[in-house]
C-alpha cells in the first residue's frame, strides 16, 4: 500500500506508475480515492469541530455553575447532549468512507524503483548476469521425473491415490538429496548471520492481506474450511507476520531471519512435457530469507540477498543467471525484484528457482510495521528472497550433476548431509 499523500500531492505520478505496470484499468482508482478522500477530510473537519464545540460547552457549564447561573448551565447541558449523536453519525459515515479508501488503496500498485526496466510481462525481463558455464553434455540428460523413477526415488502413482494430482512421495537417496539441499541452504544462511526461525504453517486473513495482493491470494492460498486461517505459500508470510503492528527500535534494525517450511499453493501451471513430475506441485519445501531494515539500507540488503542465492547454487554446481524483473512482471507490492534462474542442460535453457524482492515500505504500511529512531516514527522496509525451493533446486542438481548412465554425482557441499555418499547410482534389479 502506498502513502495516500502521494495521491493527494501527485496523483499524476501515481497514474504514470500504474501505466508503467500496464494496469490501466486501475487508473480510475486514483480519482475515486481523491473524491473519497475529499469527503473524508470534510467529515473529519466537521467531526473535530463538533468535538471542540462539545468541549467548550462542557467548560462553560462548569463556569456557569461556578457563577451561580443555573439556568444558563442547564441550557448548555441540553446543547451538549445533542452533540454526541451528531458526532456519531458523522464518525460512522467517515469510517465507512475510510474503509472504502483502504480497499481501493490495496489495489493500487506500489511505486516501482527508478531502475526497474519497463516491460509488459516476463518475456521482457532483462538479464543481469550469468554465473557459471551453462553446459550441454554430448549424452542425453534424463527428464527429472523419469530419472527419479529409474533411481527408485519417487512414487507419483501412490501419491496421486493418496492426495490427488500435484503431489509426490520422494524416497531413498532422492529424498536424502532433497533434504540435504535444504539443510545446506539453512546452514549457509546461518553462516551469513541470519537467525533461524521455525514458523507456523497457518496464518490469519489479516496477515494474508498484509503480505500479498488480492490477485496473488486468489491464485495461491488455500483457505482452511471452517477456520479463519490460511496455509502459507512460503515461510516469508509467517516471518513478516511476526512484525505485524509492532513499533521497532530503529537501533536494533535490521532483523535478518531465515526459515524452512513446507509451502502450499493452489496453482498447478502449465502441463507441458517438462512440467510433468515435480516441477509444479501443490506442496513443496523451501528455505527462505527475510530482512526488515531501515529504508536507506534496503537496496544494499537487496543486492546481498540476491547474491546469497547465487552462492548457494554455485556450491551445488548449478550455473545460474540473474534476471531483472520488468515493470509488468512485478506484483502490486513489489518495488523491485529479480529472479534467479538455473540452467537446464535437458531443456537447453534457464528456469526460475528463486525470486528476490524489495517491497520498500508498502508491505510494512499494510501490516503496521514501524520503527522509532531519533524521535521519528517511520515505516520499515521489508525484503524477501528464496534461498532454495525444492524440488526445483533438486531438479537443477539432478540435471547438472548427471552422468551418461543417469547416475548423479553428489555435490561436495552436500556429502556431509548424506553420510559421505558421493554418487547416486541407477538401481538394477
Tens-digit pLDDT string for the chain (429 aa): 899 999 999 999 999 999 999 999 999 999 999 999 999 999 999 999 988 888 888 778 777 777 777 777 777 777 777 888 888 899 999 999 999 999 999 999 999 999 999 999 999 999 999 999 999 999 999 989 989 998 999 998 898 899 888 888 999 999 999 999 999 999 999 999 999 999 999 999 999 988 887 777 777 889 999 999 999 999 999 999 999 999 999 999 999 999 999 999 886 454 443 456 888 888 999 999 999 999 999 999 999 999 999 999 999 999 999 999 999 999 999 999 999 999 999 999 999 999 999 999 999 999 999 999 999 999 999 999 999 998 899 999 999 999 999 999 999 999 999 999 999 998 764
* CA dihedral (58, 64, 70, 73) positive or negative: negative
* CA dihedral (189, 193, 199, 204) positive or negative: negative
The rounded distance, in Å, linking the Cα atoms of 291 and 306 is: 12
Domain with CATH 1.10.287.40 in the chain: 4-105
Domain with CATH 3.30.930.10 in the chain: 122-424
- Cα distances from 398 to residues 94, 247, 273, 363, in angstroms, run 59, 45, 17, 36
Instruction: Report domain 122-424's class.
Output: alpha beta
Looking at the DSSP bridge assignments, the partners of residue 223 are 230
CB within 8 Å of 298: residues ≥ 6 apart: 291, 358, 360, 381, 383
Exposed (0-12), middle (13-18) or buried (19+): which is 137, by Cβ within 10 Å? exposed
Contact 341, 128 (CB under 8 A): no
Pick the closest to residue 358 from 24, 103, 23, 111 (CA basis): 111
Look at strands 195-197 and 255-264 and give their pairing.
parallel
The DSSP code for 186 is H
Straight-line distance from the first to the last Cα atom of the chain, in angstroms, rounded to the nearest whole number: 59
Instruction: Name the CA dihedral angle for 315, 316, 321, 323, rounded to a multiple of 10 degrees.
Output: -90
Instruction: Name the CA dihedral angle for 301, 303, 304, 307, rounded to a multiple of 10 degrees.
Output: 150
The rounded distance, in Å, linking the Cα atoms of 382 and 409 is: 38
CA 154 to chain centre: 30
As its CATH architecture, domain 4-105 has Orthogonal Bundle (1.10)
Amino acid at each position: 500500500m502506498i502513502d495516500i499523500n502521494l495521491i493527494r500531492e501527485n496523483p499524476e505520478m501515481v497514474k504514470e506508475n500504474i501505466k508503467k505496470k500496464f494496469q490501466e484499468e486501475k487508473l480510475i482508482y486514483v480519482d475515486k480515492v481523491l473524491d473519497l478522500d475529499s469527503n473524508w477530510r470534510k467529515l473529519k473537519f466537521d467531526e473535530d469541530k463538533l468535538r471542540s464545540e462539545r468541549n467548550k460547552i462542557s467548560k462553560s457549564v462548569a463556569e456557569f455553575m461556578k457563577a451561580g447561573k443555573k439556568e444558563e448551565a442547564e441550557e448548555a447541558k441540553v446543547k451538549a447532549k445533542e452533540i454526541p449523536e451528531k458526532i456519531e453519525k458523522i464518525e460512522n459515515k467517515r469510517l465507512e468512507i475510510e474503509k472504502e479508501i483502504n480497499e481501493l488503496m490495496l489495489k493500487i500498485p506500489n511505486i516501482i524503483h527508478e531502475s526497474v526496466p519497463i516491460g509488459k510481462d516476463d518475456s521482457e525481463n532483462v538479464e543481469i548476469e550469468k554465473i557459471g558455464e551453462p553446459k550441454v553434455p554430448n549424452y542425453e540428460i534424463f527428464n527429472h521425473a523419469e530419472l527419479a523413477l529409474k533411481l527408485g526415488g519417487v512414487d507419483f502413482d501412490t501419491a496421486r491415490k493418496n492426495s490427488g494430482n500435484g503431489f509426490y512421495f520422494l524416497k531413498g537417496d532422492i529424498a536424502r538429496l532433497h533434504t540435504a539441499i535444504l539443510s545446506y541452504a539453512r546452514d549457509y544462511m546461518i553462516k551469513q548471520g541470519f537467525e533461524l526461525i521455525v514458523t507456523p504453517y497457518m496464518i490469519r486473513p489479516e496477515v494474508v492481506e498484509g503480505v500479498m495482493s488480492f490477485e496473488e491470494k486468489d491464485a495461491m492460498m488455500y483457505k482452511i474450511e471452517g477456520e479463519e486461517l490460511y496455509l502459507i505459500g512460503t515461510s516469508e508470510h509467517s516471518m513478516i507476520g511476526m512484525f505485524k503492528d509492532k513499533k521497532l527500535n530503529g537501533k536494533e534494525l535490521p532483523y535478518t531471519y531465515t526459515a524452512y517450511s513446507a509451502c502450499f499453493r493452489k496453482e498447478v501451471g502449465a502441463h507441458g512435457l517438462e512440467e510433468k513430475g515435480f516441477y509444479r506441485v501443490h506442496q513443496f519445501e523451501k528455505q527462505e530469507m527475510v530482512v526488515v531494515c531501515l529504508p536507506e539500507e534496503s537496496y544494499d540488503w537487496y543486492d546481498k540477498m540476491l547474491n546469497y542465492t547465487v552462492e548457494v547454487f554455485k556450491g551445488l554446481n548449478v550455473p545460474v543467471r540473474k534476471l531483472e524483473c520488468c515493470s509488468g512482471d512485478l506484483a502490486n507490492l513489489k518495488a523491485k525484484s529479480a529472479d534467479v534462474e538455473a540452467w537446464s542442460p535437458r531443456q537447453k535453457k534457464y528456469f526460475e528457482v528463486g525470486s528476490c524482492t524489495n517491497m520498500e515500505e508498502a508491505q510494512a504500511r499494510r501490516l503496521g510495521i514501524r520503527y522509532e529512531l531519533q524521535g521519528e516514527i517511520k515505516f520499515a522496509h521489508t525484503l524477501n528472497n528464496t534461498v532454495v525451493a525444492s524440488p526445483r533446486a533438486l531438479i537443477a542438481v539432478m540435471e547438472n550433476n548427471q552422468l551418461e548412465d543417469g547416475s548423479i554425482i553428489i555435490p561436495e557441499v552436500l556429502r556431509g548431509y548424506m553420510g559421505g555418499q558421493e554418487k547416486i547410482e541407477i538401481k538394477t534389479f
